[in-house]
Chain A
Amino acid sequence: MSMRTLPLVFINLGGEMLYILDQRLRAQNTADDNTQKGVWSEEDRKRVMNDIVATMFNKAFMEELLKPQDLYSHGALRRVLTRLAHASIMRLNPASMDRLYELMVMAFKYQLLLCPRPRDLLIISYNHIDTIREFVRDTPSVLNQVDETHRKIIEVYTPLSDGEFQLLRQTLLIFLQDMHVRVSLFLKNKVQNPNGRFALSTTGPVPHGIEVPGLIRMFSSNGKEWKRWEFPTGGSYTSSIRVGSFERFGDRVIRIGTNMYSVTQPEETHTSENYSQKVNSEPNLLAKEELNLLARLLGGMEVQNRNTETGFQVNLFDTDQEEEAGASGGNGDQSFEVINIQATQDVQVNTELARIAGEFTGEPEQTELPEGPSNKGDDLLAMMDELIEL
């Protein structure tokens, strides 16, 4: 269908990946458990972010993406995103990459569904770019790449009509169809139901350019309104708020696509005006399932820091109450509040690293049917290999 999906897919999925990685790396850095080894320093974290962003916003890479083409398959997209994730000193094993991909994709699906107007997909993309800009603001060369790309995206996408944006959105929704992975953050915030489907509200402001439903107007043949009356809408809508900025800078207004993993998010144990939830003492099994996934993701992250050892332990929740309640040490994840993760030991790490390194030069997995005369994404992979310095 739409030939213009790829650049937005990469910016949004890549952006989500960076949000997750940033949050995980910060979480390890701020943990004060004294058994922690191989801490990611502030410098390490910034280096990882810079390396990935530099690869993602590389000029030639973006130009390749901006060519009109069909959307890649899930397999091809995952391969390219895996290479992207490995464009730094950080390594993820395939299982962790699987989980990371699921999280990224579900976040993007949520953003697509809740996107008020199809054109607002650009605002969502710009929210991602804005945050990415923050990640690399100390590195002028990479910052410049991000700005250049942003300019290019504005140039290419601004002329598209609403109908073309809806086609783009429909293409992406077809791509993400039938995915119902439950994400603990979404379940917690009640934006996702226990069955994996997202909650769509029938209240609130209407999107910009849409009238509040409820009015019927009749016109005579000379165009004059001669009758008007209202009907019950079954929802409770208010007028739209102001439109967000489609420029390189400005108030985007729409919050979808901003970093929901950031440390400034309210803790789930606190009650606040936004989240009027009590502390949930009932173990939420589904949320635990997703926390396990995050844990496994963490378990797969090793520090390739030549001077330090590679084991570490992380608590996902850093409030005292929950740390006390959690199981101490060990490798169990029996507690619902705290999951303790230990990285694999040296020997395993080395073999794991060797295998992953092998993937870079190895053939792509033959897990699916060929996608065409030339495998989609292969050109892109080749380009990324040149960009990545191992």
Chain B
Amino acid sequence: MYHKEKSIQIKSSASALYNNLSVLRIAPRSLTYFTVVHANMVNMVSASWDGLNYSHRQLQSKEANVTTSSSLIMQAAWCVLPSRDILVLTSQKGIQMYESDGSIMVYWHALETPETPTAQAVFARGIAAVREKYICVGISSGSMLVFDVPSKGSNITLSEVLEEHKESITDMASECSGSLECIADMVSADDSGNLCVWKSGEDFQLLNKIPGFDMSCSSVKLWKGTVVAGYGTGQIRLYEAVTGIVHAEVNAHARWIYSLDIAPFSGLLLSAAEDSLVRVWHLTMTPETNSVEIVHMYNECVTDTQICGAKFCDGDGYAFAVTGYDLICLQQTDLAANSSEWRVREENLGRWHNGKHSTHHANRVNPLGGNSNVGRSYSEDRYTALSELQGTSPCFNLTLPVTLPAVHSDGSHPTSDTSVAKGGAGK
């Protein structure tokens, strides 16, 4: 179904941390950004879709005090909001927020650290963008910080502190299907496996609490009202978010799961663990029986590697990237050109080229056949609108009618691009 592409080198190896890979697709510039955390640094790679240009940037953790020891970064992830993408770094000392290319830091929030160290470690971990204007970040104490983010500028404010979890937050996720019908907006997970389901707003509202029975949940996703949770026991569980009903349980991996990802348009699920295996699954909703089914699709073994990050590179799941402890590269895997899914994709692209779609919520063909009438995430909306104007294909790995804008080796772009990228015409 998939086949391995070439690896992308990163400047330093990946650290053994949960969810240690984040991907941001910038269609107007035909680029994909990747971030991987290495100790107190974040490696950013910008890869052009033709596979010819790569540029690197490294971001350091900010230390509250230069004389203290350096601060380890726990996680780095992009938060995609309607009018901007923010790169968030969480570390032992606090939370840093940058513009999406990592060029400017727009916000810094310091964590309270006790005078003398206590047995409880202090750090921030768990990042999610929720609805139009919130970024939520988890703390080792179990608290969650909700930040209010304006459409531009650095006037980011702490809107609320949610105190529901008693153990360290491990991961957080917002509803990624783009559907406005879902009640639950966000799910948070902690070290004892407890899951909290939230509705966003001026005051976040706790909709449900799903107990964990001391099985640490390291990675969580929310899709079409279904919570997908990965545990230290190697199991994946699917729950109905607002009721907590268990739909399915999978004995997926032989070791601790480190990363989950969902391709929202197709319902493909990616799971990766310390057992060196990445697995692709397919989720299907059956509204009649109000259930979710999960089917296994594909395995990939990254030999002698404890995987710590795995993400789809696009909303359909045509490709995914993987990184592992001590690996100094990202491994990319692409849908095989001879698979039936590829033909479906070609048809889909034909439709894009002819501009046959008319609304933002047009039927999209997913890689597995059939239609999924799904709304889209904000970045897809933005780049779709732009591609309509430009007439370029939104999917990569094809010949494009327009020449790609050059990427300078230092990661900067020609100034003519920035006006296009920041969505003037499309919105």
Query: Contact between B72 and A1 (Cβ–Cβ < 8 Å)?
Result: yes
User: Is the Cβ of B275 less than 8 Å from the Cβ of A202?
Assistant: yes
What distance in Å separates the Cβ of B78 from its nearest Cβ neighbour in chain A?
Answer: 22
- Per-position 1/0 for A193-211, Cβ under 8 A of B: 1000111101000110111
Q: Which of B201-209, B298-306, B400-408 contacts A (4 or more CB under 8 A)?
A: B298-306
B62-88 Cβ-contact flags toward A at 8 Å (1 or 0): 000001110010100000000000000
**Cβ contact within 8 Å between B248 and A219:** yes
Report if A163-B119 is in contact (Cβ < 8 Å); known contacts: A213-B251, A217-B248. Answer: no
Within 8 Å of chain B (Cβ to Cβ): is A358?
A: no
B160 within 8 A of A: no
Residues of chain B within 8 A of A199, CB atoms compared: 304
Chain B residues within an 8 Å CB radius of A231: 296
Q: Which of B92, B245, B251, B301 has the most CB of A within 10 A?
A: B251
Q: Decide if A162 touches B250 in the complex (CB within 8 Å).
A: no
Q: Is the CB of B216 within 8 A of A209?
A: no
Q: Are B117 and A220 in contact (CB under 8 A)?
A: no
Chain A window 57-78, contacts with chain B (Cβ cutoff 8 Å), 1 for yes, 0 for no:
0000000000111100100000
Partner of B296, one of A117, A161, A207, A216: A216
A283: CB under 8 A from chain B?
no
B250 touches A215 (CB 8 A): yes
Contact at B16–A202, with CB atoms within 8 Å?
no
Q: Is A373 an interface residue (CB 8 A)?
A: yes
In the complex formed, the residue of A with least CB distance to B292 is A218
Q: Say yes or no: B256 contacts A118, CB within 8 Å.
A: yes
- Which of A1, A3, A163, A214: most chain B CB closer than 10 A? A163
* Residue numbers in B under 8 Å from A70 (CB-CB): 69, 117
How many angstroms from the CA of A193 to the CA of B249 in the assembled complex? Answer: 36
- Chain A's closest residue to B167 (CB) is A163
Q: Does A232 contact B (CB under 8 A)?
A: yes
Q: Which of A23-31, A136-144, A166-174, A273-281 contacts B (4 or more CB under 8 A)?
A: A166-174
Establish whether residues B192 and A234, one from each chain, have CB atoms under 8 Å apart when the complex forms. no
The distance in angstroms between the C-alpha atoms of A177 and B12, with both chains bound, is: 10
Q: How many residues of B contact A (CB 8 A)?
A: 64
A235 within 8 A of B: yes
A3-B121 in contact (CB<8A) = yes
Structural contact, A162 and B214, CB atoms closer than 8 A: yes
Q: Which residues of A sit under 8 angstroms from B325, Cβ to Cβ? A: 113, 173, 177
Interface pick from B149-157, B232-240, B348-356: B232-240
Knowing A173-B16, A177-B326, A234-B299, the reply to whether A210 touches B234 (Cβ < 8 A) is: yes
A-chain residues with CB within 8 Å of residue B39 when the two chains form the complex: 174, 177
Closest residue of chain A to B114, judged by CB?
A68
Q: What's the dominant secondary structure at chain B's contact region? A: loop
Asked if residues B250 and A174 are in contact (CB atoms below 8 Å), the reply is no
Contact check: which of B249, B275, B290 meets A217 at CB < 8 Å? Answer: B249
A237 proximal to B (CB < 8 A): yes
Most buried by A among B168, B192, B214, B275: B275
Using C-beta atoms within 8 Å of the partner chain, give the interface range for chain A.
Answer: 35 or more
Query: Given A174-B15, A232-B296, A220 and B291 touching (CB < 8 A)?
Result: yes
- Please judge, given known A-B contacts A162-B214, A162-B216, A234-B299, whether A210 and B293 are in contact too, CB under 8 Å: no
Contact indicator A163/B326 (Cβ below 8 Å): no
Q: How far is the CA of A220 from the CA of B252 in the complex (A)?
A: 20
Q: What is the minimal beta-carbon distance from B40 to any residue of chain A, in angstroms? A: 9
0/1 interface trace, chain A 256-288, chain B, CB 8 Å (1 if under): 000000000000000000000000000000000
Q: Quick one: which of A169, A218, A235 contacts B248, CB cutoff 8 A? A: A218
Contact of A167 with B256 in the complex, beta carbons under 8 Å: no
- How many residue-residue contacts, CB under 8 A, span A and B? 164
Q: Does A361 contact B (CB under 8 A)?
A: no
B245's partner among A67, A221, A235 (CB-CB below 8 A) is: A221
Our pick among A197, A216, A234 for the contact of B301 (Cβ within 8 Å) is A234
Instruction: Give the nearest-CB partner of A176 in chain B.
Output: B326
* Chain B residues in 8 Å Cβ range of A180: 326
List residues of chain A with CB within 8 A of the CB of B92. Answer: 1
Q: Are A163 and B234 in contact (CB under 8 A)?
A: no
Chain B residue numbers with a CB within 8 Å of A211 are: 233-235, 251
* Inter-subunit contact B254/A237 (CB<8 Å): yes
Distance of A70 Cα from B190 Cα, bound (Å): 22
What chain A residues lie within 8 Å of B303 (beta carbons)? Answer: 200
Shortest CB-to-CB span from B333 to chain A, Å, is 14
Whether A219 pairs with B69 at a CB distance below 8 angstroms is no
A173 engages B15 (CB within 8 Å): yes
CB atoms of A210 and B255 under 8 A apart: yes
Question: How far is B72's CA from A73's CA once the two chains are assembled, in angstroms?
Answer: 13
Whether A161 touches B275, Cβ cut-off 8 Å, given contacts A206-B254, A215-B250, is no
Give Cα distance in the complex from A116 to B191, angstroms. Answer: 18
A198 to B304, CA, bound (A): 7
A211 to B235, CA, bound (A): 8
- A180, B299: Cα distance in complex, Å: 28
25 CB-based A-B contacts, threshold 8 Å: A2-B121, A113-B325, A163-B191, A173-B15, A173-B325, A177-B39, A178-B326, A200-B275, A202-B275, A206-B234, A207-B255, A210-B234, A211-B233, A213-B234, A213-B254, A216-B248, A216-B295, A217-B249, A217-B250, A218-B291, A219-B245, A223-B245, A234-B299, A234-B301, A370-B67
Q: B-side interface residues toward A, CB under 8 Å?
A: 12-13, 15-17, 38-39, 67-69, 72, 74, 92, 117-121, 123, 167-168, 170, 190-192, 214-216, 218, 232-235, 240, 243, 245-256, 275-277, 290-291, 293-296, 299, 301, 303-306, 325-326
Beyond known contacts A69-B117, A170-B17: 10 more, CB 8 A cutoff: A1-B92, A162-B191, A174-B15, A198-B304, A200-B276, A213-B254, A216-B251, A218-B293, A219-B248, A219-B249
The 4 residue pairs across chains A and B that have the minimum distance between CB atoms: A163-B191, A231-B296, A163-B216, A234-B299
